[in-house]
A and B are shown apart, each in its own frame.
Chain A
Amino acid sequence: MEELNRGLFGIYEDYWEPDLSLDQFFEINSPQTFFFRHTGQEMSPWIREGELLIVKRGLDFSKGFWIVSEGEKWLCRYLEKKEGQILMGTPRGSLQALSSQMDFFGKVIASIRDFR
């Protein structure tokens, strides 16, 4: 079926803008974007059990939440740099140095809490 561009439809086309897209906003389709599911209470209340984390690889270091690997485990921790050293912390623990066995996976750029 062909559309008729008459009346309001014709004017609307002059002002058309693309729909808002969370995919675009968080660059979900970028090669470096990954998802993680948060479990446990370690980071609560900053990040809660079941929250969906959007993680980006390949970013330069800046303070915030990061996914680091420790052996076969993935950890989500708050990281910041002090006096040239990267420190990690949880809501209830003090900042401590990253262990040498830990590797960075990527930075958490958003956390989604599902209220449904």
Chain B
Amino acid sequence: MIATTPEVKRLGIQIEHAYFKIKKICESERVTCFSSNFSLYGNMSKRLMGVLKKWGKLHVYSIDEAFIQLPKLSREIYFDYAKSIGEEVYRKTGLSVGVGIAPSKTLAKIANHWAKRQKEQKIWVLDGSEKDDEVLKQVSIDKVWGVGRQSVAKMHALGIKTAKDLKYFSNEKQIQGIFSIRGLQMKKEIMGISCLEWERIQRRKQLMVSRGFPQTIYSLEELKKSVAHFVVKACEKLRKEKSLAQAISISLRTSPHYGEYLKHSTNFLLESPSADTQTFIKAAWKGLEKIYQEGLAYKKAGICLWEIYDEKDWQPSLFHEDCPKRKKLTEVVDQINQKAGSLIIRPMACGEQKSWQMRREKMSPRYTSSWKELPKCS
């Protein structure tokens, strides 16, 4: 499960549960399950962002999250703003959204988290003043944006259990010493002082593509095809973000239902950063050959590109060999795929058939992206 409604959560069904484990309860409680419909999500996301961009400078954070830069106004007017934004999104797209407004991005995320807990209007405003404290004391520190699992334990050791505790923690030097400048920025952000630059948030540390297979895979050839496909996807994204990567990790996981549950992975470092698909496919295959074991039932594979640089920040060495022809070809392929659909043109390394691709038997129709699956009215 990747998402559930509050009603389903109340039945004890959690997002980490596998479908076959909760199938019975879904049938008895008449829970409707849908397979992922990524084309519909993407299309609705595009519509959402299309509405939001009229409200101010828009930074899309994920498929269903965005930040808008608003002019400086009073707390009361912000409530009206939040209400109008939510209403416009619903009127134009049919999507219900939570809107949180605050002077910093971290505080805005908390405001949004709080907005979703409201029964009627899903809106909330925090302004960095003492008025925020009533909310902040109810937000546990692990729910604060940027606080990872490891940091939670360290925060607890300092007696910081809630967002409010962090806001009023007096020893800033100690925070910086333990959590580096990021920790201090987090504290200031909760105080309502904006410190996180958008470009810094956007810059990735790694780019991961992994999938579980509907059936177990035994053959190296099939695994190579799936891994090649993941590399194509990752490199396409890398180029779109005008970035380069120098390292790749390849991982394989066996099925816990067929023998021993094993996880294998390996890394491969390129001589110089690249966004070239073929270079990474070669590296990924080398890694795959190293960790593959005949006879094992593989259930999941993945790749992760890391050591990521901004394309414009990277200075090629004197001996760097560039291949302008291949670069041009990649540009053309990217342009065609962008217009005609992702992976219309792809390396043969990916194979013709995607036997390893996700099973989506319960997928809702592609209402917004397929002429054959439009909603019907009578």
Contact = CB atoms under 8 A, between A and B. Distances in A.
Interface in A27-62: 30-32, 34-40, 42-43, 52-53, 57-58
Interface stretch (B91-99, B245-253, B327-335): B91-99
B368 to A, nearest CB: 7
B55 to A, nearest CB: 13
B377 interface: yes
A73 interface: yes
Given A31-B47, A31-B48, A31-B51, A57 B91 contact: yes
B375 interface: yes
A76 B48 contact: no
B133 interface: no
Contacts of B222: none
Contacts of B48: 31
A75 interface: yes
A74 B50 contact: no
A76 B92 contact: no
Contacts of A88: none
A42 B50 contact: no
B153 interface: no
B93 A38 contact: no
Contacts of B92: 31-32, 57-58
Contacts of B46: 31
- Give the interface SS of chain A, mostly helix, strand, loop or mixed: strand
B317 interface: no
Interface string B48-92: 101100000000000000000000000000000000000010011
A58 B88 contact: yes
Interface string B17-60: 00000000000000000000000000000111011000000000
B88 A36 contact: no
Nearest to A42: B378
A76 B375 CA distance: 12
Interface in A55-72: 57-58, 67
A30 B50 contact: yes
A45 to B, nearest CB: 15
A80 to B, nearest CB: 19
A34 B51 contact: no
B312 interface: no
B15 interface: no
A58 B91 CA distance: 5
Given A32-B93, A58-B91, A38 B378 contact: yes
15 contacts: A31-B48, A31-B92, A36-B374, A36-B375, A36-B377, A37-B377, A38-B378, A39-B378, A52-B374, A57-B91, A58-B91, A75-B377, A75-B378, A76-B378, A105-B94
Interface of A: 30-32, 34-40, 42-43, 52-53, 57-58, 67, 73-76, 105
Given A52-B374, A58-B92, A105-B94, 9 more contacts: A31-B47, A31-B92, A32-B47, A34-B368, A35-B375, A37-B376, A57-B92, A73-B378, A74-B375
